[in-house]
Amino acid sequence: MPERLFVCTPSKLGAFADCPRRYRYSYVDRPTPPKGAPWAHNSMGASVHTALKNWFALPVERREPGALPTLLKATWVREGYRDVDQERAVYRRALDWLESYVATLDPDEEPLGVERVVATKTSVLALNGRADRIDARTGPDGPEAVIVDYKTGRSGLDADDARGSQALALYAFAAERVFRRPCRRVELHHLPTGTVAAHEHTEESLARQVRRAEETATDIMAAEKAVAAGADPDQEFPTNPGSLCGWCDFRKVCPAGAGVAGKEPWTAVEHLGA
């Protein structure tokens, strides 16, 4: 019998690459171990993403910065903040980012997709993922698709971040097959600074990222089979201790993470209230 395809998203593959133990807690153990408190930066990021999605859903004549306060307020996620004052300060900063960002957009341009799920298969993967935005642009050889990913976190993103992102490459690989047009350009749009970090993939560089994803999937399937056959889950899904442990949802239930000082849920947005 042929091997079953590994059903995955880029984030699922990334979880294993970051820490196999975190992958196990998220996708293998049932019931799922209890997570820590919600993160304020995740709440803010989700709110901004949803507001942008809803901005593109407006009629063209209403796509202007003045629509954003209502949109952001309607989508605002309140979890994780230290207090109401911090939440209000972060809301105002997020609104400023959004208003500055949409002022650079052409409201008449319709993307190929907004929060669009793209999916494809390889000999190993049944891959799907949700891209923030997929633009329709005209390249040197005609119509093409461009992957756009919004970022609201750390600054200093550059072309190397865009080039090295496996998630963006996998979105491009899938989008090219879904829309039947070249999709090689990937962009990170950093809303706090208004900067764009971009990379132009080649067919070969996309193929390399797909091979990396397939290798990760093969390792995951081997570990899951071993555990099903009676192997020690801790050995098959080892920890990867490091700086990310303080931000892990499962820090308190992980032997390696329990010894690491945890971050407060609002740590990543503290500077926004200054």
**Predicted confidence (pLDDT) at residue 273 exceeds the cutoff of 80:** no
Note whether 118 and 129 are within 8 A (CB). yes
Distance in angstroms (rounded) separating the CA atoms of residues 42 and 149: 15
Please give the pLDDT value at position 267. Answer: 96
Residue, of 252 and 215, whose pLDDT is higher:
215
Residue 259 pLDDT grade (very low, low, confident, very high; cuts 50, 70, 90): confident
Q: What does the mean pLDDT of the chain come to?
A: 95
Please give the pLDDT value at position 139. Answer: 85
Please compute the mean of the pLDDT values over residues 33-42 and round it to a whole number: 96
Residues 6+ apart with CB under 8 A from 106: none
- Closest by alpha carbon to 5, among 221, 216, 226? 221
pLDDT in tens, 163-214: 999 999 999 999 999 999 999 999 999 999 999 999 999 999 999 999 999 9
One-letter identity of residue 255: P
Instruction: Read off the DSSP letter of residue 158.
Output: -
Q: What pTM does this model have? A: 0.94
One-letter identity of residue 12: K
Q: What DSSP letter does each residue of 32-90 carry, written as one string?
A: PPPP-PPPHHHHHHHHHHHHHHHHHHS-GGG-SGGGHHHHHHHH---TT-SSHHHHHHH
Instruction: Read off the DSSP letter of residue 268.
Output: G
pLDDT in tens, 50-79: 999 999 999 999 999 999 999 999 999 999
**Predicted confidence (pLDDT) at residue 42 exceeds the cutoff of 60:** yes
Distance in angstroms (rounded) separating the CA atoms of residues 33 and 30: 8
> C-alpha distances in angstroms, 85 versus 89, 116, 160?
6, 34, 36
The b/e string for 147-174 (b: 16+ C-beta within 10 A; e otherwise) is bbbbbbeeeebeeebbbebbbbbbbbbb
Instruction: Read off the DSSP letter of residue 28.
Output: I
Residue 140 pLDDT grade (very low, low, confident, very high; cuts 50, 70, 90): confident
Cα 58 from chain centre: 24
Please compute the mean of the pLDDT values over residues 239-264 and round it to a whole number: 90
Burial of 266 (0-12, 13-18, 19+ CB in 10 A): buried
